[in-house]
Structure 1
Amino acid sequence: MSGDVVAELKGRIDKTLEDLRRELQKVRTGRASTAILDGIRVDYYGTPTPLSGVASVNSPEPRLITIKPWEKSVLKEIEKALREANLGINPMNDGEMIRLPFPPLTEERRKDIAKQVKTKGEDHKVAIRNVRRDANEALKVQLKDKKITEDDHKRITEVVQKQTDAGISQVDDIVKKKEKEVMEV
């Protein structure tokens, strides 16, 4: 019974870490990353379609993303979707493909982005602490219902805390790595 609490805690912490990684992929660094385009939908014959479903997306150079649609008729819709996404990058349409040139980031902009990364990290630490609270409450209920002993409660609470500490440490590592990437010139 109490093993379920620890397993659920670990699963929820892993999901939180995965969500953080996914969110940080979308954060713009000095390099062009195609992950920044993951959430963009293009109106394809009236259906909102992921960009990767209507075009090939590549990053041939560190500061350039190219988008080559499979049908030229979709080029205008892709350009419109990119402009509406407010990426801070001006799409250049040459009639064949769209180029997204990434200008170098200023020092001030890098610091702003690093702050955003830190904030996302803090939000995910709070989420992990909330998972810990839920696990501890579930253990208290099990103790009250006499499904576990006092000793089991104490031992499992320590395991819950260790898992929480490990999750928060991983958040710190992920954030540090991303901050370093953002601050690289």
Structure 2
Amino acid sequence: MRTLYWFTRDLRLHDNPALLAAARSDMLLCVFVVDPRWFTGDRLQCRALGDHRWRFLWQSLMALERSLRPLGQRMHIAWGEPEIVLPELAREHGVQRLIRSRLPGTEEAAQWQALKTRLPEVTFQQFETLGMFTEGQLPMELAELPDTFSQFRKQVEKAEQPDHTLRIRTVSALPPPPGFPEDN
């Protein structure tokens, strides 16, 4: 299977179930998309990404790139709107599956839906990677979440839950990437 892994807020190899799933592929294209909308002001002239955060993000991307190299992989950093860039890359490389971490946001959900519409032939998978619990592990419905962390903690501690011992797994091998020009 030819897989595109879309890195978003999960710029790590350790404890990343989405990347572990993507590793079960014949070809893996690791992509991060820099969205130009992050740098433009909204109606209040607030940017989603300021200078310091951008510098930190870039340093994190370069560190991830250095971590991917020994595994025979590389990071493809693209500039553009993900709804346009990712379908182009998927078609160019014959991608059959697109994987990312589940992102909690309406804009992110709209992007995901737009991608599904543009790539009906591709299988889409999202994984919970950004929190301590998945929604299914919570002892309450989301609408019933307590107002304070202390109340939440007490309910979680009281609930009879199966052993969720922390199992941090690290990717030890990745499938090869498609060929890219060296100036990527």
TM-score by length of 2: 0.21
Task: Indicate the structure whose relative CO is greater, using CA pairs within 8 Å and at least 6 residues apart.
Answer: 2
Higher helix share: 1
